[in-house]
Each structure stands twice: as structure tokens, then as C-alpha cells.
Amino acid sequence: MEPYASMSKEELLEERKKVKAVYKEYQNSELHLDMSRGKPSTAQLDLSMGMMDVLSSDADLRCEDGTDCRNYGVLDGIHEAKVLLGDMIECNPDNIIIYGNSSLNVMYDTISRSMTHGVMGSTPWCKLDKVKFLCPVPGYDRHFAITEHFGIEMINIPMHSTGPDMDMVEQLVSSDASIKGIWCTPKYSNPTGITYSDETVRRFARLKPAAPDFRIYWDNAYGVHHLYDMDQDNLIEILAECKRAGNPDMVYKFASTSKISFPGSGVACIATSLNNLEDIKKQLKVQTIGHDKVNELRHVRFFQDIHGIYEHMMKHADIMRPKFELILNRLDEEITGLEIGKWYTPKGGYFICFEALEGCAKKIVSRCKKAGVQMTPAGAPFPYGKDPHDSVIRIAPSYPSMEDLRMAVEVFIVCVKLVSIDKLLEEME
Amino acid sequence: MEPYASMSKEELLEERKKVKAVYKEYQNSELHLDMSRGKPSTAQLDLSMGMMDVLSSDADLRCEDGTDCRNYGVLDGIHEAKVLLGDMIECNPDNIIIYGNSSLNVMYDTISRSMTHGVMGSTPWCKLDKVKFLCPVPGYDRHFAITEHFGIEMINIPMHSTGPDMDMVEQLVSSDASIKGIWCTPKYSNPTGITYSDETVRRFARLKPAAPDFRIYWDNAYGVHHLYDMDQDNLIEILAECKRAGNPDMVYKFASTSKISFPGSGVACIATSLNNLEDIKKQLKVQTIGHDKVNELRHVRFFQDIHGIYEHMMKHADIMRPKFELILNRLDEEITGLEIGKWYTPKGGYFICFEALEGCAKKIVSRCKKAGVQMTPAGAPFPYGKDPHDSVIRIAPSYPSMEDLRMAVEVFIVCVKLVSIDKLLEEME
């Protein structure tokens, strides 16, 4: 296959004609396909239906210490849920608070609390002239939406195959006291799919922030979301590493069972130092009497232990793996040789991150839409929705069926080709 | 029975000796009884165990419009849950957002949002020098904890048998733009048990606030928590009344199923005008992808409709009624004639509010504790925990068994007698 950039204008025009014809065909097929959000498929949801039976009307809904899970109380979660989620995120149960169904909500509340009450005695951020966050890009749009909502200035940090550009992170964090945090999805990252290298995590743990209320917002959303049993990424556990580095209070770690059991009905948590927990609980006890302990118990009874979660995740992997492989194979077969796009081959998570030629992402997404395939809006993985190179497209293969996906990826490929040819032709003018 | 205040010193000393002997006996019985919190009893929780069976592994977890409740989405709750809770709180489903398990959490978030983002475009409260709330007293300690947490100045408003002192409310609200809200539990009020009169609600709806971002925080926590089938209080629906009065945006109404199904695992909601809803959703969509729809569906399938909730509440009433009657009867038999306390006889809710002689509440609670009976701390139903007359004691009869309650009320009565005698004797010095 010859790279498009090496082709003559005539060859490109010839290729365009062929590709356009295929595109037209798809356009006429009235497709309605969606690769836009990281939603589990129905088959994945079905894996957790057994959870509906573990607590029946004749079940004992008391937890191990005798607490009746049906009644008020237990602000920070039942112990066995802390053990289960602790094993999942490699943390001591004592460092955990169990929340409701959404880790996003926990992150929002964490920022909101810092705005109104500061962090461990610091000035509330709403009283400061300027608050900034570092945002490794591309990243998770809902993270950036939170900081934008609170008027926090976001600074882009380039992502490499090892994680965020740590030279830049270190320089900024140590020199600017208005920088209060950094958003991270360190494992099977959203959307790049990479996992932070050992060196990256160690450098994170050794940061010397100018702001004492600087925290790393470590969203371990895909910690156990592997595609393979053996070929897995490993991520250094950040709480322990921060402790070793003498920075025990520098990180908030977030996780949930959203893409393990049911996305709307899982259990979320925060893990952090005892000092931070004390700070958080001062607020939490005012905010609520406690979260849904029956649902915590339901998760514990269904998964039993971390082995149960692991086995369950391998069933998810069996459904996800062919989808990832389908997309990656087709991209490899159709795009690699043409040199009109790059991507990373992830070993887990929910996304493939396609990097198109500069200035092409919006047009590709728009082309896809016109042919009935919904992609994540171009720009979404960047603060303020602005991709400086207009090149990143997040592909979310989880929700469509294999059959739909087979069609969707072909449409996507044709759109990439078409928009890339147009760009190259334009450059020849 | 002769009022204590009419007795001579000798008679009082004689009475004290008798009462003290009984108290000593209780002290030696090593009791561990709790009338401190409004928690449902185990028998009440058992009423909802059927809810554990309505969604089994072979159930269809799609709601009426076809949405799979197991997956992400539906920010403001599934339609059938809005209909059910709408019927429960007498509001249009379109005016409702369904939340997670805690209406307290919704109230907290409402205040927190107003602090950081204001109300429908107003200046965020955190940017103001002074923010004040009106607090009808005695009231709900957890309301006051929220406003205290955010540094909002709280102003006591006396409660009458018709509701808060509306002359005072009208005067303050219309003259002071730093007053941004008032906490209300309008029906079977916590802790007084009274229901706001028609006139009170109408005057609320006709307030002319100096602050455009003034809101009534209407916590309808006990809206369907009657003790009797026929002899019920009626409360005018505030949203409709505000609309009629030309103040459609002036009220946030909160409710939940916490004391209907399971306290930790119910469904909460807010009902308010479409303008307010739009304002709230701007924030909510940043805070979460959605709440627990499976639990919403579980509630809908279990209760079916408002008749189902009503029948269910009558089962609660059958458990609660004897407890209330026991306490009220014993107070009447033992205290009325002595003129050392007053209380209201509520037709629903969770509390009996005992008003002791001035300066006696703390001592009575402390005496109870020493005899093994835990009461709500004196002062708790007041902002900053300060009861200006030290006279109010909240009695929560729901949690203990009838047997325990029979003992607990006797201890309470003896403590009231003992402390009252001591006060009267002191005054004779």
C-alpha cells in the first residue's frame, strides 16, 4: 500500500473517486450506529444479572458486624465493601470511603468541597483569584467539564506513551501555587489506552507542589478492565508510592464498579490518606447519613471477593476483546500503509484513540455522522472542547454489537480516507 | 394531681424522695434504650422486604420507554419513578428530578451549588459578605448543620401550632436581601409534629423577598407518614400555591422514600419550577451521568402506584401508632397534672416534642443517659445546638420495641419529675 502523501494529484483523485463511491453506498444504507460513549453492551450487562438474586426477601441483610444494611447509618460504607473495593484498587480498607453509584459524583464533590472549604485547612478556592488544573490531553471530557464548571483554568499537558509529560508537570506544579490539581486516568487511559509507566508514577509521587493543597486526582476507572488474562499492563499503586516518597496526602484515588456490575447502579469509592479522609468526613457527615448499604451488600454477596471480580472481568474481556481486535485489525489493514493516522493498541479499558492528520478530526466525525455513524465529538477529549491540532478521535467499541461494529468501522475507515485525501489535495493547490 | 409549682417545700422534698427511689431502681437495672433518632424499627423495615424480589435475574430491567435501567443515562430519573413520587408529593412529574438515596444530600447539594454558582444567575453566595437563613425552631438538626457548615448565619424563628411565626418571617424576608432561605418541615414537623396551617402556607407563597435568590427549602419528609387512616393533617401543596401567588420559582421541595422503603436505600427527589430545574440540571449534568435507575425501577415495581404507597404507609402506621399512643398516654397520666411539661399530640411523623420547664432539658437528657436511656441531645433541634430556653426535648419513639419503649418512657417521666422538682426547690432558696 502506498502512503497517500506519496501519491500524485492524479492518483489521489482516482483514489478519491473509488472511496467516495463506497462512502455514497454507506450513506444510502441508512445506518444508525454509535461508537460515541464508553457504555457496556447489553451482553456485558447480562453478566451481572445474578446480582438481582443474591438479596432476596428471605435474605439476612445484616453485614458482618451485625449492622442492618436496610437502616440509616454507617457514613463511610460497610466494612466488607471496603475490603472488596480495597482489593480491587490495591488499598487498605481503612483508607477507603464507599460512596453512591458514581465516582464522577465523588470527583465533583471533591472539587466542590475544595471550592467552599479548601483542602485540609487551606483557603477555600472560591476565595482565590485564580485556580488552575493540569489536564493531560487527550483526556476524559467529564473531568474537564467539572473543572470548567467551577471556573478553574485548565492547562493542557501532552500525553506520551508513558503518561503525561512529566518534565512539564514537575516544572509547573513546583513553580505555580495556583495549580491545585491534575486529572489522571492512569491505567488503560481514557482515551489513549496507555498505562502510566513506573517512572511516571514515581515522578508523580515525588512532586514538590508549590501549593500545599495540590492533589493528584487519580481516576482509576479501568483498573481491572483488562482485555487479556496474561498480557496486562501493571500500574504502580499511587497511595503507597506517595507514602514512600514522603507525600502521603498528595493523592485522591477514585474508582467504581460502574463498568463491572451495572453502570448506573454500581458502588463508587475514594481512597486516600487518613488525614484527607478526616477532612472529607467533616463534610460528608453534613451531606448525608450514609450511602446505599443494601447495594454495597449486594455487590459483596455477588462478587464475594477479588477473585470473583477478576473472573467476572474476564467474562467482560471475552466480549470486549473481539471488538477491540476487529477495529484494530481493520485499521491496521486499511490505514497503516496509507500513513493517514496513528493509534495505540491498548490492553484494556474502553477506547481506541485515533490520531488523524492535523485538521481532519472534525471533518471525519462529521462525515461519519452523515453516513449514520455517531462518534464522540472531535475536541471532546480536550479542555473547552478544543483540540489544538484537530486530530484526535475517540473510538468507543463497547456498545455496538459485533455486527454493527463491523459496519461502523468500515464507515469510519472510508471517512478517514476521504477527509485525508481532501486535505492532501488541498495542500497541493 | 397537684401541680408541683403549688406544692410546699416539704411536699416537694417528700415527692423528691419517692421519685429518686424509683430513679435509683432504674439506674440499677442497667438499661440500654435509645429514643434519640428517627430510625424505623426492624418490624418496619421488614414491611419492604418484598422489594428484594421484584427484580430478579430473569426480570426485564427496561423501563416503560424501553431504556435499559442497568446502563448509563437518564440524568433526571425514569419517568415512572417521577410519576410515583409525583403522586406522593402532589406534583407534576415534569417538575421532578429523581436523585440517589438521600434527600439530605439533595439539600446539601442545593446549598453547595448556590454557594459556588448562585441561584438562576444570582451572585454565588461565596462571593457575598453575609448570607443568612431563617430557621424555625425547634427544627431538624441536620438542616441547621448544612447551613452552619457553609458559614451561613442562622436566625431563629419561633414555631407556633400553625407553623413558623409568619409576621416575623414576612418582615425579615422582605427587608433583608442577605436572607436567602428558610428551612421548613411543613408536615408532621420535626420535631414539633405540627402541620403548617392553610394560612401559613398561603402567607409563605405570598412572601415578597428582598433577595431574588431567596428560596423556601420545603422538606416534605413526612408527607405520607400518617398515624391514622382518617384523622390526618392536610397540607396545602406549596408549588401550586406559589404559582397561583405569582411566585413560581420561590420554592424547592424535597422528599424521599427513606422512611417508606429502606432508609439507606430509598429514592430521593426535588420538585420545583421548570426555571429552577433548568438551573439545577446545568450543574447536575456535570456532577453525574445519572442516579441509580435500577433502584428507581425496584421502587416502582414494588409500590406500583400511590395507592400501593398509601397501603404500605398504613402498615407503618399500625406499628408506629401504639408507640406514639403509649408515650402520649403515659405523659398525659404522669405529667399533665403536675404542670411540668407541654407537648403536642401529632397525627403523623416521627417525633413527640416535649417542652420541659425552662432550664431543664439538658439536665433531663443527662439524667436519662445515666439511667441508660439515650435521648436526642438537648439543644440539637436548634441552630448551633443552642436552645435559648433549654426546654425542648425531642422524643423519637420509632426504633425501640414496645417493650423497650414501655421502660424508656417511665425512665423519661421520672427524670422529668426529678429535674423539675430540683428546679422548683432551687427557686425556693
Residue A344: name the closest of A176, A191, A185 by CA. A191
Q: Is A116 on the interface with B (CB under 8 A)?
A: yes
The β-bridge relationship of strands B352-356 and B392-395 is: antiparallel
Distances in Å between the Cα of A42 and the Cα atoms of A37, A259, A262, A395, B109 are 14, 12, 10, 18, 33
Overall average pLDDT of the B88-93 stretch: 98
3-class secondary structure, B345 = coil
Tens digit of each residue's pLDDT (9 = 90 or more) over B327-372? 999 999 999 999 999 999 999 999 999 999 999 999 999 999 999 9
Note whether A70 contacts B265, CB cutoff 8 Å: yes
Tens digit of each residue's pLDDT (9 = 90 or more) over B184-242? 999 999 999 999 999 999 999 999 999 999 999 999 999 999 999 999 999 999 999 99
Q: Work out the minimum CA distance from B337 to partner chain A, whole angstroms.
A: 37
Contact of A293 with A97, CB cutoff 8 Å = no
Length of chain B: 429
- Percent of chain A exceeding pLDDT 70 equals 100
Q: Is A405 on the interface with B (CB under 8 A)?
A: no
Q: Work out the minimum CA distance from A56 to partner chain B, whole angstroms.
A: 5
Chain A contacts in chain B segment 327-386 (CB below 8 A): none
Q: Is B128 on the interface with A (CB under 8 A)?
A: no
Q: Is A43 on the interface with B (CB under 8 A)?
A: no
- Where does the pLDDT of residue B1 fall: very low under 50, low under 70, confident under 90, or very high at 90 and above? confident
Tens digit of each residue's pLDDT (9 = 90 or more) over A380-424? 999 999 999 999 999 999 999 999 999 999 999 999 999 999 999
Distances in Å between the Cα of A11 and the Cα atoms of A3, A16, B201 are 11, 8, 79
Query: If you count residue pairs, one on A and one on B, with CB atoms under 8 Å apart, how many are there?
Result: 170
Cα torsion B195, B201, B203, B205 to 10°: value is 150
Tens digit of each residue's pLDDT (9 = 90 or more) over B230-253? 999 999 999 999 999 999 999 999
pLDDT at B429 over 90: no
Contacts of B51 in chain A (CB under 8 A): 57
Element (H, E) at A49: none
Note whether B295 contacts A292, CB cutoff 8 Å: yes
- Where does the pLDDT of residue B376 fall: very low under 50, low under 70, confident under 90, or very high at 90 and above? very high
- Where does the pLDDT of residue A85 fall: very low under 50, low under 70, confident under 90, or very high at 90 and above? very high
Chain A contacts in chain B segment 208-247 (CB below 8 A): none
Note whether B264 contacts A150, CB cutoff 8 Å: no
Q: Is A290 on the interface with B (CB under 8 A)?
A: yes
3-class secondary structure, A40 = coil
Q: Is B423 on the interface with A (CB under 8 A)?
A: no
Q: Which residue of A has its CA nearest to B148?
A: A286
Distance CA A185, CA A195 (A): 8
Distance CA A156, CA A140 (A): 12
Residue B295: name the closest of A73, A82, A293, A305 by CA. A293
Distance CA A351, CA A328 (A): 11
Tens digit of each residue's pLDDT (9 = 90 or more) over A321-346? 999 999 999 999 999 999 999 999 99
The C-alpha cell that represents A386 in the structure block: 478544543
Contacts of B115 in chain A (CB under 8 A): 115-116, 126
Note whether A73 contacts B105, CB cutoff 8 Å: no
Fold of B4-44+310-428: Aspartate Aminotransferase, domain 1 (3.90.1150)
Contact of B296 with B69, CB cutoff 8 Å = yes
Q: Is A73 on the interface with B (CB under 8 A)?
A: yes
Q: Which one of B48, B52, B146 has the shortest CB-CB distance to A286? A: B146
Residue A246, Ramachandran bin (φ over 0: left; ψ between -120 and 50: alpha; else beta) = left
Q: Which one of A57, A100, A263 has the shortest CB-CB distance to B101? A: A100
Domain-by-domain residue ranges, chain A? 4-44+310-428, 63-303
The C-alpha cell that represents B238 in the structure block: 406549596
For the CA atoms of chain B, what is the radius of gyration? 23
Q: Work out the minimum CA distance from A361 to partner chain B, whole angstroms.
A: 25
Contacts of B55 in chain A (CB under 8 A): 52
**Which of 3.10.180.10, 3.40.50.12500, 3.40.640.10, 3.40.50.10800 would CATH assign to domain A63-303?**
3.40.640.10
Q: Is B123 on the interface with A (CB under 8 A)?
A: no
Q: Which residue of B has its CA nearest to A41?
A: B71
Mean pLDDT of chain A: 97
**Which of 3.40.640.10, 3.30.70.100, 3.40.50.300, 3.30.360.10 would CATH assign to domain B61-303?**
3.40.640.10
Beta bridge pairs of residue B307: none
